[in-house]
Structure 1
């Protein structure tokens, strides 16, 4: 059972379905969304050989992209189109082939025009691979059509 109110959860789910259906890159990475709610997203993916850099470690761009996707789902979950203004990313450890990584985005602050999110990427052993902070600009554009 979701810890989020039903109407807020249904908005977040509808936005996720719309965004994911049009996001070929996230599909290419094999990202699987486990849960979304207001200001929240948790997803996971398995590290494949084609995701490695020249040293045999998970390419930082893959890790960043997965974090950016969770950030996008979390900041758009309220139903207003949001775009990233700035992000910082601290790489703490490298992923390896066969790792299953969990990416969890949480809203830290939500104001009328700005939202701040913290994203953590961990492996199946709980080791932190990436700490990501994103700031989003909240436009006035409603993502979902109004229902009468």
Structure 2
């Protein structure tokens, strides 16, 4: 077995723990990080009444925030502090009260200074609610 993937997973896990300790906003949203790895994050949350907009659907800001959080874990998983340069989101369907929302971020490209990530937001039935694309600037600051 190749030790490199294990070491990379260990780093991603350590970065996740550090970030979660200080991320009170993600705690407020009830985001549960299921898995992280190099350039990857999967998390989920349950839609609560305080996450609904005036029409009774999941607020776009809650959807965006969950996608942005998965993006942050994925782009920082390599151990270099990364910050979002630009993001776009397409809202395709509305989440509903009680939905279990899964958010999955995948690295599409990683260069010395820039990483690009695709994030899918789906409900418990596999319906895609949103597609998010994020570009991150990779600083020279080591996280750990």
TM-score category (smaller protein) = over 0.9
The within-5 A match list for 1:81-96 is: 81-96=81-96
Tell me the distance in 2 between the aligned counterparts of 1:26 and 1:82: 18
SS in structure 2 of the partner of residue 5 of structure 1:
helix
Structure 2 unaligned regions, length at least 5 = none
Q: Which residue of 2 aligns with 1:46?
A: 46
SS in structure 1 of the partner of residue 34 of structure 2:
strand
Tell me the distance in 1 between the aligned counterparts of 2:67 and 2:20: 14
Residue 23 (str. 1) matches residue 23 (str. 2): yes
- What is the RMSD of the two structures over their aligned residues, measured on CA atoms? 0.7
CA drift of 1:117 comes to 0.1
SS in structure 1 of the partner of residue 88 of structure 2:
strand
Q: Which residue of 1 aligns with 2:118?
A: 118
**TM-score, normalised with respect to structure 1:** 0.94
Residue 7 (str. 1) matches residue 7 (str. 2): yes
Tell me the distance in 1 between the aligned counterparts of 2:108 and 2:88: 15
Structure 1 unaligned regions, length at least 5 = none
Q: How many residues align?
A: 141
SS in structure 2 of the partner of residue 116 of structure 1:
strand
SS in structure 1 of the partner of residue 56 of structure 2:
coil
Q: Write out the 4+ residue segments of structure 1 that deviate beyond 6 Å after TM superposition.
A: none
SS in structure 2 of the partner of residue 101 of structure 1:
strand
CA drift of 1:5 comes to 1.1
CA drift of 1:63 comes to 0.1
Tell me the distance in 2 between the aligned counterparts of 1:59 and 1:12: 30
